[in-house]
Amino acid sequence: MSLNKKLLAGAIVGLLFSANAGAVVLGTASYTYATELVNGTVLGARVAEAPLSYNFSPNEVRYGRFSCNGAELSNLTVTTTAADINLGAVNGNGTNTIFFSMTGDPALAAPTAAETMDITADVELLNKGDVTCEFAIYDLPSQAQAGGPNGLVIDSGTDGYKTWITRKSGYVFTGTDGQAVANVEDANGAYFGFVGTGEFGELQFEAVPGVWDKDHADITLADIFDADTMATIDGDFTAASDVTWDGNSADDVSDDAAEFEYTSAIPAAGLDGPLVFVETGADAIMASEYTATLHTSTNTGYETTDRSTSVGEIIRNGTQLQAPLVQIPTGWLSRIALTNTGKVARPYEMSVMTETGVTGSFADATGTIPAGGTVVIDLPTAAPAGAGLAFTAGSRGTVNVNISAPNNQIQGLYQIVNPEKGSISNHVMVRPGTN
């Protein structure tokens, strides 16, 4: 059998001439397949072009070996660029290594090192890593079968095994951090709207061009994922009427998550664009960080795991102060002092958070801190007039104060006093997120 004839039958006509289906020199990654393909996936008729790299003499007999890591080979075909070598039977079909005899044809010119051998095989992927292979020539058949240095005449290069098939994820799920600013001086109330838009980040969920499915075509999200796949954006959405991703509205928005289902809110081709918090205009927007998670469900033949990525945050301008534990027990004075070192009077607004089963409210939650001055708010005695704090049960909670002022101009102090015993406790109000 001459060198340019098939050693074993292989159905490769047409496939060898399809897009990106030409032979590849070992070391050049011409084939890239998705890591989402399950182990055991069989790729039909893949071609490796192995340089001969050896000058034969007429009647000289050597033994070729082609061995791969991460794959098993079947339905093998071997051809070459010139009809000047006679080949023996191919051994090792269905394993990761084949070997065969190579004899210089006595009637033709001696084969040269410039010639190549095309090894075509159906490739079974055994794992998620790259498939690396080596072509080598040996003195004896037992040496070609065993591999290694004994009897080695020439191999595919000084680096030995080289990449034949590359594995890469067939999709991206990647966030870009942004920042939206909730406006303390919004016309509807403190933090009821944004400075500019509510875009707080960006998110991409798309297939990767040039990464193939098992049929040697660019993979799509529809190849990998079924309709149970969903992306969630996790964070504080208590003041959101909607959340949009690249202009698409979420399927559902709860206090702590926005849900985008594939393929109702996420088109089959995916999305790549901004995430926008659409405010109600009637509720205060909370400062929050946001994380996107892809909850995956795959079609038969594919597998992948959930992925998460940071996608930005919402911050508040102005000044935020908090007294983590305000108490108003009987016989005690409980008060907050707010100081403004700036040259402009600044409005403030107070709110209260409570334990489960308890509600708290201010009779009047707003006021003004004079320029270069201080205001003292006596919580249980409602001074200034009407500013009292009341609880449905118990006598404690957390007081938040928002001031329409630069952060470096405002300070706050919480104080509780027992006038009969003269005991005083002072606590500098904290700035959420900074101390």
Q: Which residues pair with 65 in a beta bridge?
A: 99, 136
Same domain, 178 and 61: no
Same domain, 351 and 312: no
76, containing H or E segment? strand 71-80
- Per residue in 255-274, pLDDT (tens digit) is 999 999 999 999 999 999 99
Same domain, 273 and 393: no
Strands 389-391 and 410-418: unpaired
Same domain, 59 and 76: yes
Same domain, 177 and 255: yes
The CATH number for 387's domain is: 2.60.290
Q: How far apart, in whole angstroms, are the C-alpha atoms of residue 375 and residue 368? A: 8
Give the C-alpha distances (Å, rounded to integers) separating 84 from 7, 10, 113, 268, 277.
15, 22, 12, 53, 71
56 pLDDT band, cuts 50/70/90, is: confident
Of 1-5, 157-161, 346-350, least confident by mean pLDDT is 1-5
Residues 6+ apart with CB under 8 A from 225: 262, 296, 297, 298, 299
Same domain, 160 and 175: no
pLDDT in the model for residue 121: 93
pLDDT in the model for residue 184: 84
Same domain, 119 and 29: yes
Locate tokens 């070729």: which residue?
Answer: 64
The residue among 316, 332, 363 that closes a domain is: 316
Judge contact between 285 and 197, C-beta under 8 A.
Answer: no
Domain span at residue 76 reads 15-168
The CATH number for 80's domain is: 2.60.40
Same domain, 162 and 176: no
Q: How far apart, in whole angstroms, are the C-alpha atoms of residue 64 and residue 137? A: 5
Please state the pTM of the whole predicted model. 0.77
In a domain, 5, yes or no: no
Same domain, 287 and 331: no
In a domain, 8, yes or no: no
- In the chain, the number of structural domains is 3
* Whole-angstrom Cα Rg for the chain: 36
The residue among 316, 342, 369 that closes a domain is: 316
Residue 255: Cβ within 10 Å count: 11
In a domain, 1, yes or no: no
Same domain, 155 and 205: no
Same domain, 141 and 234: no
pLDDT in the model for residue 351: 84
- Per residue in 84-131, pLDDT (tens digit) is 778 888 999 999 999 999 888 776 665 666 777 888 999 999 999 999
Same domain, 51 and 157: yes
